[in-house]
Structure 1
Amino acid sequence: MKKVISKTLLACALTGAFAMASTGAFAQTTTNPFPYFSVNESAANPAAANMLTADKITGNYDEIITFSGNTFNVSLLWNAGQFVTNNGTTPVASHLSPTGGSSNQYGLYALYQGNGTFSTSGGVTTFNFAPGGNLSVFTDPNSNTTFNKPANGSTAWTTGNSSDDVLIATGIPTSGQGTLNPSLSTCGSAGGSGINCGSFGSSTTFNLTSNGSKYFTSPNPFYNVSFQSGQLNNFSPTGTQEINGSMDVVFGVPEPTSVALIGLGLFGLGMSRRKKQA
C-alpha cells in the first residue's frame, strides 16, 4: 500500500511541476525576475566560511545526445562557474571554482539524463523534453573530480576521484523545449561563429538532501523547482552527437494563487503528505 501511495504522490508532483512550469508563474519580485537564494559555502568542505546571496548560477555544459527516429536521449554534465545577482548580471564573490587552485575552493556540478521528441521544418529543428529522467547535483571538494563521456545519450556520465563528492540535490525533468536554427547570423557560414545556433530551456523538480540543506540555506523550505537555460552550438540532429555551450540555473516555487488558478489539488496533496511526515 505504501508503494502505491508513493508512486501516486510522485505522479502528482510531476504533474504539478509540469503544468506550473508551463505557466511561468513563480514567486519573484517585479524588479528582479529571478528568485533569490542563500548559500553557506562552509558546508562545501574545505571551502572557507562565506555566506552569499544570489539569483542565478552560471556555468557550462557538455552533453551526449542520441537521435533515433523522432526521439532523442540526452546525458549531460554541467559545471557551475559562478554565482550572480541583480537579474543575473553581477558576479557574487565566492569560493566556487570548476578548476580549483587553492585549498578553499570547491566545484559544483550536476549530472542530468532526459529524453524527448524532435522535428525539423525549414531547416529549423525543435526539441520537446518529456517528463522523466534524473538530475543529481554534487559539491566537489578541491575541484578534483574527473568526468568520462558516455557512448550514447542513454548512458550516464561516470566520474573519477569522486569519493569525497557530496550529493546535495536530486530532481526529475518535467518539461522543456529547444530550437536549433543554423541560419542565425551567429551560426551561419556568412560570418557566423557556429557557437550560438539556438537555445533551450528545461525544468526539473528540485529536492535538497540533508547536506544540501546545509549548503542552500534559504529560503527554508527551499525552492522545489529548478530551471535550466542554455545556448546550442551547431550540430546535426542525427545519430549520436556531442554538444556544449553555456547553461544557467535559477530556482522557483509555485505561487499559491497560480496553483488555485490551474486547479492543481494534486500538488497540494503532495505537500500535505510531506507535512504529516515531518
Structure 2
Amino acid sequence: MKTLQSLAALLLVAGTAATATPLLQNGGFEAGLANWTAIDRPNSAGSWFANTGTTTPVSNFSTVGAHGGVGYAVTDQVNPSTHALLQSFNVAPGATSVILTFSMFVNSYADFFPNGGVLDHLTGQPAQFTRVDLLTAGADPFDTGAGVLQNFYFGIDDPATNPHPYTDYTFDITALVAAGGTYQLRFAAVETEFFQHVGVDDVSIDAAFAVPEPGSLALLGLGLGALARTRRRR
C-alpha cells in the first residue's frame, strides 16, 4: 500500500508540457485557395479570389495587399452577391487550449445594412456586411441559425477610410471545441448596395494538448519499477 501511495505522489507532482498542433492548412493563402472551399449563392456576380497584388482582381479597387507573404484571399464583384469561404478542421478530444487567429480588412463602399445577419442578397432588403463564424460540421455554407456555434465578426470597417489596413483578431475557442469533433470556419460577405472587398490572411487554429515531460516519464518509470519489485518480494 505504501508503495502505491508513493507512486500516486509521484504522479501528482509529475509535470506536463503543452504541444501546439495546427488544425488549418494554407492559412496564409500562399497556395491560392487550396484547402479552402469558396461557394457563392446563385445569381451572385462575385466570389472569393486568391490575390497577390494591391488591387482587387475584378473591379481594380485598391487594397493593402497581403498581410504576410505574398498571397491573401479577397472578395470582389460587379453586382450584388453573397459568397462564403470555408475550411473544415478536426479537433482531437482533450485539447487544453484551442486558439483562432486571423487578419482581415473589410473595405465597404456603402453603409452597414445588417439584414438580420442573413447571408442572402436576394431577400429584397438591403444587405451589406461581412461575418466570420464557427459552424458545426453539417451546417450549410450560408447558415446563420442553429449551425452557428460562435460569431466572431459582424459588420464592416468604416466606409469613410477605405482602403483599410488589416485588423488582427484572436479568439479562444477551447470551450466550444474541446470535446473534439469536426467543425467549419467560415468567412462570408453579402453586398447589395455597392462594392465590398473583404481581405483575409494568416488564418490559424492551433490546439494544445498536455503531454508528460521527459522527467515526469522517468519518475513514472521509477515508480512502476518499485511497484514491480515490491510485488515480486511478496
TM-score by length of 2: 0.26
Flag the structure with more relative contact order, 1 or 2, with Cα contacts below 8 A and sequence separation at least 6: 2
Q: Which structure: larger Rg?
A: 2
